[in-house]
Each structure stands twice: as C-alpha cells, then as structure tokens.
Amino acid sequence: MLFDTHVHLNAEQFDEDLQEVIERAKDAGVSYMTVVGFDRPTIKRAMELAEEYEFIYACVGWHPVDAIDMTNEDLLWIEELTAHPKVVAIGEMGLDYHWDKSPKDIQKEVFRKQIRLAKKVKLPIVIHNREATADIVDILKEEDAAEVGGIMHCFSGSPEVALECLKMNFLISLGGPVTFKNAKKPKEVAAVVPLEKLLIETDCPYLAPHPYRGKRNEPGYVKLVAEQIAEIKGISFEEVAIVTTANAKKLFDIN
C-alpha cells in the first residue's frame, strides 16, 4: 500500500501507454497517487484523471518557472477548482532560480498569492524549490504558511533545512534521488526526519530512481524509494509503506 504523492501522469510522456503505466503501478502496490497540475493544460488534464480514476487525486497550482504567464483569471480558476472533492492541495508552487523565464520578483508575488489562496480555502500547499531555499523559507514564514502546512516536494536541501521545515508544519517528500549512489544529502535527510513526517514520490516522468536513472520515471518505481528509506532507517519496507501512506492521507484529508 503505497502513496505516490507527486506524479505528472498528465505529461505527454504518458500519452501512448498511460493505462499500462497505471497497471504496473498497481502491481507494484501503489494504492493512491496525486497528479500535479502547474499550468492551464496540465491542470485540466489532472482534473480529468482525478475524475476518471478513483485512486487518483489532483493538486492544482502554478509553477514558478511560468509565473510570468499567470493571470488573475488563472488564480480565480484555481480557486474554483479547489471546491472539487478530488482536489487535495494547491501547487506545485514556489521559486525556481535555475531557469530565468520568470523574474524573481514575479515568482515571489505569484508564490505569495497562492499561499494566501491556500489559507483562504484551507488546503495544504506543495512546494517546488530549485536553488532558492533561503527565499522560500523566508516567504513561508512571512506568509504564515504553517497555518495550512504542506509538502516540501522532492526535497533536496540539507537535514538542517528539513528540520526547519518540519517546524513550519511541512512534511518532507523524498523521490528518486534518495536512491542515487552519490546522493549524500537526501540519504542524510531520510535518516534524520522522523518517519511520521516523511512522504514518498516519483515526480514521474522525471528523476527516475536507480537502476532506472536517466530513463522515464513512472509511479510503480516509488516502491524503490520506499525500500531505500527502509534500508537507511533500518526498518521494514512495510512500515515505510504504511506510515508514509497514512501521512499522505492525513495531510490530504482522504478517508
């Protein structure tokens, strides 16, 4: 019983064989998935998938790379969608200083607007962070994001930052990189963060775990993430599966 908390089955990489990918995930023990939409087309597709499959839920928000494209109409649309029973979080949102499509000030403004929306509709948030840790932590504190809490998606920061995020009511989600042989930080984070504060994800089709690194990722591979965390913590795979699934269901308010 695994919960892949961050998938992009709405990506074109799955257009040809989506049903087979879903069947492989079920065979691997994946019982729940959250499909993340981050712009108009991917949000629309996330909603379609959540309505089509009982075990798929949707997260809707606006990606920082495309912050410059977001209009007030988009934000209002996202707010309307949060009334849907299968929408469990807002995101992915945050800051991305790797790409320079959207200026930092616009990214910050769009990030703040989405945090405020989440507090208004009382939903957790999903944070995308690339090379922007200090500014993200500052904004989460300034906007009192702890009120709704959420997920530090595909966390790549230090154990110290992870513990700081826990204090702000965020769960730490680990993906494929925790399985990479040279990934020191994710392994340290997996060791330090209590299991009750951990989630697992694939971020598929990106960041496939070892031994599939460099290939298309898919939800069934989340089992490899859970197995790696179990090994690091010296506990059973079953315990990791049960507790991380319970953590996700509690955060997303899924019965």
* Token pair 């892949």 in the structure block, residue: 4
pLDDT digits (tens, 9 = 90+) for 104-128: 999 999 999 999 999 999 999 999 9
pLDDT band at 135 (very low <50, low <70, confident <90, very high): very high
Closest of 177, 151, 205 to residue 9, by C-alpha: 205
Percent of the chain scoring above 70 in pLDDT: 100
Rounded Cα gap, residues 190 and 188, in angstroms: 5
Half-sphere exposure of 47 (CA within 13 A, CB side): 17
The tokens describing 156, both together, are: 């790549």
The amino acid at residue 240 is: V
Strand residue runs (E) in 78-142: 87-96, 125-130
| Mean pLDDT over the full length of the chain | 98
Mean pLDDT computed over 33-53: 98
Closest of 236, 233, 247 to residue 191, by C-alpha: 233
The tokens describing 54, both together, are: 């009982």
pLDDT score of 53 more than 90:
yes
Q: Find out whether 162 and 170 touch, Cβ atoms under 8 Å.
A: no
Rounded Cα gap, residues 27 and 61, in angstroms: 30
pLDDT digits (tens, 9 = 90+) for 146-184: 999 999 999 999 999 999 999 999 999 999 999 999 999
Mean pLDDT computed over 239-249: 98
pLDDT computed for residue 100 by the predictor: 87
pLDDT computed for residue 89 by the predictor: 98
The amino acid at residue 187 is: K
The CA-atom distances, in angstroms, between 81 and each of 37, 67, 118, 128, 159 are: 11, 19, 12, 20, 35
Q: Find out whether 149 and 248 touch, Cβ atoms under 8 Å.
A: no
Mean pLDDT computed over 19-37: 98
* Token pair 């949000």 in the structure block, residue: 43
pLDDT band at 97 (very low <50, low <70, confident <90, very high): very high
Rounded Cα gap, residues 112 and 93, in angstroms: 9
pLDDT computed for residue 27 by the predictor: 98
pLDDT score of 76 more than 90:
yes
The CA-atom distances, in angstroms, between 223 and each of 2, 27, 204 are: 7, 11, 13
Global pTM exceeds 0.95: yes
